[in-house]
Structure 1
């Protein structure tokens, strides 16, 4: 599998491609809303083809980002193991401690001081922030396009109402002419006078001319109504697509933001655990020194112990508040993970079963 950095780069490229396709559809539909709808069918076909490409690119983009998010989870899961190793002394440090406890403790403190867990966590949080900004930018584009398409759709709906009204008016006028044409044809068939017949035929020719003009206008109005109807359906489809894409982006953003908060809590908890372990080691050393000192030193140590107990009580009280907050974050993460897993079930299964590269 590619590195997290490479996956982020790939995701940035895919987002750029998807946004370009989204802009193409938006521009085409916006132009249709302002153009003569009767001549817009070819452009509408182009918009539909581009819409299919948007779906393809969006699926690829979201799949890449979903896998990237799961990669961040994998790295986070490794932190506990790293911290557990740091809590304990290494075999060499324990061996040195048999002969020189001070040297052993100094070695452990130096190892903790130079440990890279903080850098690793900050790098992970930084990557999460980059991906979140990427997703937020995509969400902003989707919402902006949705607002534009909805405005154009309202305009087109109004235009189609006018087109349908015009079409119905023309059809009513055509229906009203039918009895007149039939009457003229019957009168022509019944007359024997050449002069009357010529006059009636002239009337019929003029009436047919008006009738044909209305029929032609009806065909134009029908074509316009049908094209507007197709554009309306395309607009509705596009709005629905944008809403679905936006929902996916919000699921991904929510999981990333919740994960980041959880990582901060995790790091804080593990860091305090490290400090507590080190303090315990120091406390044991102080206690051993205290046993070997005289009564005066023991009295001083008692004072120190009382102060230490006060500080320990403060720490325990703070720990309780910290655990309440941590539990709340973990509950939020569980809900975010559930939404994510439901939305990206296939990707989660591929990740969990290590099916990369399979068919």
Structure 2
């Protein structure tokens, strides 16, 4: 397509910006984690460390790449013209046919025999590889950040577990002190001897001081535990986001790779069919090579006449491994198409209805 390079540059810029935002948010989440471990309040930080901006940008980036992938159908549309030209006589062949029909037919057969679509296939493969590299780079970044945040989370989970353990121990000690304090207070209330009473009061003061200190520690531990819990939830949310973004990249990569593989196999089979079949009318069935490639190509191959079928049977027998591979590729493509359509339903519908710019 004419603007393919421009679209790729736009996607590259969006990917770079997305990676920058992802790095920024990962860094912010880690900074929050450091604050959480030190017991600082992180409520404002968590509120500011929003995922909305990242999600909005990555959705735009993925939508653009999805459209770019579907736009590769424009590249493959050139195959339709190739097959039409293989079916129809050229102007010169028609002219020669007026005087020498046999010569004209042999000219056409020779042209079909020597025809190839390698250049267009290589162009398609090259464009597909460009997008795949872009996606694989983004997938690597996402997985690296996911691993980084998960490692940080693991340490935080261990620290919160230790903090909760300390908190429970403190509460047990505080609870155990209550009856002791009550017992001392009761002794003081009935003690008549001044010296003994003073001693008991000193013990009570020390015990109360210890009790108050432990209550204060309990509040600190509780606040730290709650802070760590909030950070863990934020970290988990970010990990889930990175995981979902990575899944999207894998769907895009799978769709692109299986599309390319399927088309290469399909066009190779069709070219062989055209070159070996006496009925060249198989080509006129290829009206749409883009979105309709799968069903049109299957129908085209099934529509070859009896004589051609015999020829194709011979060819398929000689290329059994190739055809087994072709069937496997078609199955892979069907699954890839399903995953792609499920994740990018709105974009696919927009593309199919040709509503760009509407």
Instruction: Tell me which interval the TM-score lies in, with the shorter structure as reference length.
Output: 0.7 to 0.9
In structure 1, C-alpha distance between the alignment counterparts of 2:152 and 2:49, rounded to whole Å? 16
1:77 and 1:312, CA in 2 relative to 1: closer, same or farther beyond 3 A?
A: closer
Query: Does the 8 Å contact 1:44/1:231 carry over to 2?
Result: no
Residue 7 of structure 1, CA deviation: 2.1
Query: Does the 8 Å contact 1:26/1:145 carry over to 2?
Result: yes
1:247 paired residue number: 247
1:167 and 1:98, CA in 2 relative to 1: closer, same or farther beyond 3 A?
A: same
Matches within 5 A, 1:105-144: 117-144=117-144
2:84 paired residue number: 84
1:38 paired residue number: 39
1:144 and 1:279, CA in 2 relative to 1: closer, same or farther beyond 3 A?
A: same
- Answer with 23-32 or 247-256: which moved more: 23-32
In structure 1, C-alpha distance between the alignment counterparts of 2:313 and 2:188, rounded to whole Å? 115
1:169 paired residue number: 169
- Answer with 266-275 or 186-195: which moved more: 186-195
| SS at 1:89 equivalent | coil
Query: Does the 8 Å contact 1:174/1:215 carry over to 2?
Result: yes
Q: How many residues align?
A: 327
In structure 1, C-alpha distance between the alignment counterparts of 2:320 and 2:229, rounded to whole Å? 63
Query: Does the 8 Å contact 2:255/2:336 carry over to 1?
Result: yes
1:72 and 1:312, CA in 2 relative to 1: closer, same or farther beyond 3 A?
A: closer
Residue 272 of structure 1, CA deviation: 3.0
1:37 and 1:98, CA in 2 relative to 1: closer, same or farther beyond 3 A?
A: farther
Deviation track 1:198-255 (CA, whole Å, cap 9, x = no partner) reads 5554444333322221111111111111111112222222222222222222211111
- Answer with 86-95 or 197-206: which moved more: 197-206
In structure 2, C-alpha distance between the alignment counterparts of 1:124 and 1:75, rounded to whole Å? 6
1:116 and 1:41, CA in 2 relative to 1: closer, same or farther beyond 3 A?
A: farther
Deviation track 1:301-338 (CA, whole Å, cap 9, x = no partner) reads xxxxxxxxxx9997564355544433332222122111
- Answer with 145-154 or 211-220: which moved more: 145-154
Matches within 5 A, 1:201-350: 201-273=201-273, 275-276=275-276, 315=315, 317-318=317-318, 321-350=321-350
1:98 and 1:321, CA in 2 relative to 1: closer, same or farther beyond 3 A?
A: farther
1:62 paired residue number: 62
Query: Does the 8 Å contact 2:112/2:275 carry over to 1?
Result: no
- Answer with 51-60 or 155-164: which moved more: 51-60
Residue 163 of structure 1, CA deviation: 0.2
Q: TM-score, structure 1 length as denominator?
A: 0.76
Query: Does the 8 Å contact 2:46/2:231 carry over to 1?
Result: no
1:115 and 1:31, CA in 2 relative to 1: closer, same or farther beyond 3 A?
A: farther
2:11 paired residue number: 11
| SS at 1:39 equivalent | coil
List runs of 5+ in structure 2 lacking aligned partners.
281-310
- Answer with 16-25 or 83-92: which moved more: 83-92
Deviation track 1:64-107 (CA, whole Å, cap 9, x = no partner) reads 11111111134325523432233321346413532477996899
In structure 2, C-alpha distance between the alignment counterparts of 1:260 and 1:16, rounded to whole Å? 25
1:201 and 1:34, CA in 2 relative to 1: closer, same or farther beyond 3 A?
A: same
Residue 126 of structure 1, CA deviation: 0.7
Residue 274 of structure 1, CA deviation: 5.3
Q: TM-score, structure 2 length as denominator?
A: 0.76
In structure 2, C-alpha distance between the alignment counterparts of 1:211 and 1:94, rounded to whole Å? 107
In structure 2, C-alpha distance between the alignment counterparts of 1:79 and 1:53, rounded to whole Å? 41
In structure 1, C-alpha distance between the alignment counterparts of 2:237 and 2:186, rounded to whole Å? 53
- Cα RMSD for the two superposed structures: 3.7
More helix by share: 1
Residue 13 of structure 1, CA deviation: 1.5
List runs of 5+ in structure 1 lacking aligned partners.
281-310
Matches within 5 A, 1:189-204: 189=189, 199-204=199-204
Residue 261 of structure 1, CA deviation: 0.9
| SS at 1:62 equivalent | helix
